[in-house]
Amino acid sequence: MACPYAAPMSTSLAPSVGTANSGANTDSVTSPKNSRVKFMDYADEESQEGVNKVELGFGRTYSEYLQLDKLLDCQKLQSEVRGQRVDDEHLFVIMHQNWLERTPGLKETDGDEGFWPKYERAVKQYLNDMYLDAVNNDHPKQVREQLLAEYYKTKDSFVSILDPKQHEIQMKNGNCLFSHDAMKGALIIYFYRDMPRFSQPYQILTYLMDIDSLFTKWRYNHVLLVQRMRGSKQSSYMYLRSTVSDRYKVFLDLFNLSTWLIPREYIPVLSPRMVKTLSEHSNLSSTLTSESE
């Protein structure tokens, strides 16, 4: 759609505004090849037939008018440097990932080994107890087989969070976006959400998932609307239906946190120092800095 505020001085304002029979996605025609803003090409679809007034020289696209390439080039995407670009990197790294990586209690401080070694031992104990229960001869054979299958399934699910290399592989495959340290921070917030210092962070994580859920619900309602009004013969319906999948969840990593939760009796006990730290709200910024060092 053409930008109505970017019309050339020699033309009137009216021709610069996209009409009903204008190309619905003219940005993809005029954007530079190396543009950071990518659009789907619908040029071959019958529904996109019409007069593209931007191609005729009437006005400019919104991406050109707003100079989005200049804005987006202000930050160098690290995922692009590594060879696998993730366009949402700025959202996760700046606003959420760095915050989670600095969660108090993750790293060793003043003789306290930190949360993660304790969590690893707790998971090991939990899995060991699951196995002992599964091979207990007091259970019928069918029950033992079912418990063993559940044990191996649970054991495999913990591999990606306990092994940093496996987590890195998951990131390269696009199955997760949060760094390993960020996932650790989210887990400790989940486990100790009743502590005053973690109460609000836990609510933030919950609200982020709520927002994601509402987007998914909106997409699903949109799919039903398109199917009811236009049927399923249009390619647009097939595309919209695909947007309801996990692939389009922004905070999928947060949804998957429940995979690595353990029963309450296995949750590591906080040290007296951490209990004191998480029970106070004063000097928040200075405490976060000292904990992250």
Of the pLDDT bands very low, low, confident and very high (cuts 50, 70, 90), residue 165 is very high
pLDDT number for residue 19: 38
Amino acid at 29: V
Between 48-52, 111-115, 205-209, 250-254, the lowest mean confidence (pLDDT) is in 48-52
What is the rounded radius of gyration, in angstroms, for the C-alpha atoms of the chain? Answer: 26
DSSP character at residue 77: -
In sequence order, the β-bridge partners of residue 3 are 60
pLDDT number for residue 43: 53
pLDDT number for residue 151: 95
The contacts of residue 30 (CB under 8 Å, 6+ apart) are 54, 55, 60, 61, 64
In sequence order, the β-bridge partners of residue 60 are 3
pLDDT number for residue 50: 57
Q: What angle do CA 16, 17, 22 make, to 5 degrees?
A: 105
pLDDT digits (tens, 9 = 90+) for 6-59: 444 333 333 333 333 444 444 433 344 444 444 445 455 554 555 666 677 766
Nearest to 159 by CA among 128, 111, 124, 129: 124
pLDDT number for residue 47: 47
- Greater confidence (136 vs 75) lies with 136
Within 13 Å, how many C-alpha atoms sit on residue 3's CB side? 14
Between 22-31, 63-72, 221-230, 238-247, the lowest mean confidence (pLDDT) is in 22-31
pLDDT number for residue 193: 94
pLDDT digits (tens, 9 = 90+) for 190-233: 999 999 999 999 999 999 999 999 999 999 999 999 888 888 77
Query: How far from the centroid of its chain's Cα atoms is residue 53's Cα?
Result: 37
Q: Give helix 164-172 / helix 180-191 axis angle, nearest 10°.
A: 110
pLDDT number for residue 24: 41
The contacts of residue 43 (CB under 8 Å, 6+ apart) are 23, 28, 29
- Greater confidence (110 vs 51) lies with 110
Q: What is the mean pLDDT of the chain?
A: 77
Q: 271-289: buried (b, 16+ CB within 10 Å) or exposed (e) per residue?
A: beebeebbeeeeeeeebee
